[in-house]
Amino acid sequence: MVSDTKSRSTYIGHVPVTDNILSRFVSAATSQWILRNALVITVIVGISCIVMSVYYTATLNHSGSIRPRRLVDLQRLTLSQSGPKTIVSNNGKTVIIDTSITKRNYQPLKYRLTTFAGAKISRSRRTKTQYPLTLDTPYLLSNQKLCKSVSNISVLTIVHTAADHFEKREVIRRTWTNNSYFHHLGSVRILFLLGTVLHNNATQNKIVDEFKTYGDLVQGDFIDSYRNLTHKGVMGYRWISENCMHAKMIVKTDDDVVVDTYKLLKQYLPNLSGRTRYILCNHIAPGTMPIIREHKSKWYVDSDLFRGYNFYPRYCSGFGLIISTDIIPFLYRAAYLTPFFWVDDVYLYGMLPSKVNDVAYISLAGNFSLNFMAGLACFENNTRQCPFLISGARTPGEVVKVWSAMGKAYKRTLHINLNESNSLVKTDYNTKNSVIGQGKNDSDNNHMTIKSTVSIHEEQANAVISKRPHMLANTTQKTKVRTNNSAPV
């Protein structure tokens, strides 16, 4: 017994093989458990990052002109009485907007952070959030004196027109926007917005000559095409913010309608006087206008834009509407925060107003018709006064017919002669009479010759036209020039 105990206590030798194997087995299992769980955690974190990235991209990005996103301090986007305001543009430059010319005291407007479900897709052709080109690019043609030379403007009418619609612009000047017909009711100004044409110096030269004669054009540095109308509208907001904030009312139309300017000045202007933050239009309620995904449609919208939406949000048809002047600067500045969307009506009169608090939509229902024959018949009706403020007229000849019917209707029903101002203008659109002399009683001519300032713009415009191929905003700029029917309606 003693020998056995002694032998156990004094035994020195190798650790049994079975003990060594067990130790290794436990260590390997623990290592595998750690690695397996670490891999699962890594996969979960990776998927979460991808989901958040896709969600952020789908929520905040639209397609349009390529511009980098730059943060803007929302506190700087308010209009006050203190004079010029500055904002940081997308290219890092500072834009100064002089708001001190207005005589009215506006309460600051706050911006909403509402965003729509546009998307930046992963294809190489769309790699950055894109914004309207005309946010801060120089005008090719612009007459800053058009409004500033007149202290009291009742209505500024801005017309979206195609670059080569010379006859349409001419007949509009000589009919429903001719201030000599309405000088006793107020002061009317007309401004045509247009882009440039691709490889057509002859058309550009005619535009420059037209600008020298009338001074009522604003031409932007973008190709005048159907899918670039958003650029045109933002340019209009910008120009008004810089040059015409003292106008009592802003009317926006296309060049294929006629506005009853007498009714506008006699009824709408007094009724809307004192109101702010409104848009009077053919209102499209949210959830009523479907987003068209059919590739063959003129209004096809890519599935990556407004992803998850079947209907457009609230907006206005752009053929004719009235906007209170006080919100124009805010609509312009909201474009710095709203990615480009090519359907101009949705962008200009829906997405941008959604960024501004307390904008009221007033319906124009029952007070317009885009059907030429319906509008003509309405004014020719001998039993009642036509309720239409806006009537469709696609050709210069149709404009003349509707305008003539308006004049006869007012003479018949209200015993008003719209020609009582001794205007020198004739209604035959084929005549070449200039509208510079608009009547003996018109003390502040609407159109003016500005040869002293046009030469610089002309040189710049010609240079841009000659170098146009490298200045395309996107592939949609090559689209055929439209006839200015805003869509969808």
The rounded distance, in Å, linking the Cα atoms of 386 and 376 is: 10
Class of domain 135-478: alpha beta
Across residues 80-108, what is the average pLDDT? 36
The proportion of the chain whose per-residue pLDDT surpasses 70, expressed as a percent, equals: 63
Residue 75: what pLDDT? 28
pLDDT at 52: 73
Read off the tokens for 289.
Answer: 């206008």
In sequence order, the β-bridge partners of residue 15 are none
Q: Where are the domains of the chain?
A: 135-478
Which long-range CB contacts under 8 A does 412-417 form with residues at least 24 apart? 412/382, 413/385, 414/385, 416/262
Query: What was the pLDDT predicted at 240?
Result: 97
Residue with tokens 């810089």, as numbered in its chain? 242
Token pair, residue 280, equals 């009077």
Strand partners of residue 193: 160, 218
In the predicted structure, residue 341 carries a pLDDT above the cut 90: yes
Predicted confidence (pLDDT) at residue 67 exceeds the cutoff of 70: no
**Dist. CA 489–CA 487, nearest whole Å:** 5
Distance CA 244, CA 152 (A): 10
**For the residues 224-242, what does the mean pLDDT come to?**
96
DSSP 348: I
**Running DSSP on this structure, what letter comes out for residue 275?**
-
Residue 454 has pLDDT above 50, yes or no: no
Q: What's residue 55's pLDDT? A: 58
pLDDT at 437 over 90: no
Mean pLDDT for all residues in the chain? 73
3-class DSSP string for 22-70 = HHHHHHHHHHHHHHHHHHHHHHHHHHHHHHHHHHHHHHHCCCCCECCCC
- Report CA 35 to chain centroid distance, whole Å: 55
CA distance 178 to 259: 12
Per-residue pLDDT, 325: 96
Residues linked to residue 188 through DSSP beta bridges, in sequence order: 155
Q: What confidence score (pLDDT) does residue 29 get?
A: 64
361-396: per-residue pLDDT in tens? Answer: 999 999 999 999 999 999 999 888 899 999 999 999
Per-residue pLDDT tens for 298-337?
Answer: 889 998 889 889 999 999 999 999 999 999 999 999 999 9
Asked whether 461 and 204 are in contact (CB, 8 A), the reply is yes
pLDDT confidence of residue 313: 93
Q: Are 168 and 257 in contact (CB under 8 A)?
A: no
pLDDT tens digits, residue range 469-485? 333 333 343 333 333 33
Residue 405, pLDDT score: 94
The CB density around residue 96, as the number of other CB atoms within 10 Å, is 9
Which tokens sit at 388? 């239409």
The one-letter amino acid code at 189 reads R
Partnered with residue 356 across adjacent β-strands are 111
Over residues 121-156, the pLDDT tens digits come to: 334 344 467 899 899 899 999 999 999 888 899 999
241 has pLDDT over 50: yes
Q: Is the pLDDT of residue 95 over 50?
A: no
pLDDT, greater one: 422 or 16 = 16
Q: What is the CB neighbour count within 10 angstroms for residue 404?
A: 15
Exposure pattern of 185-199 as b/e (b: 16+ CB <10 Å)?
bbbbbbbbbbbbbbe
37 pLDDT band (50/70/90 cuts)?
Answer: confident
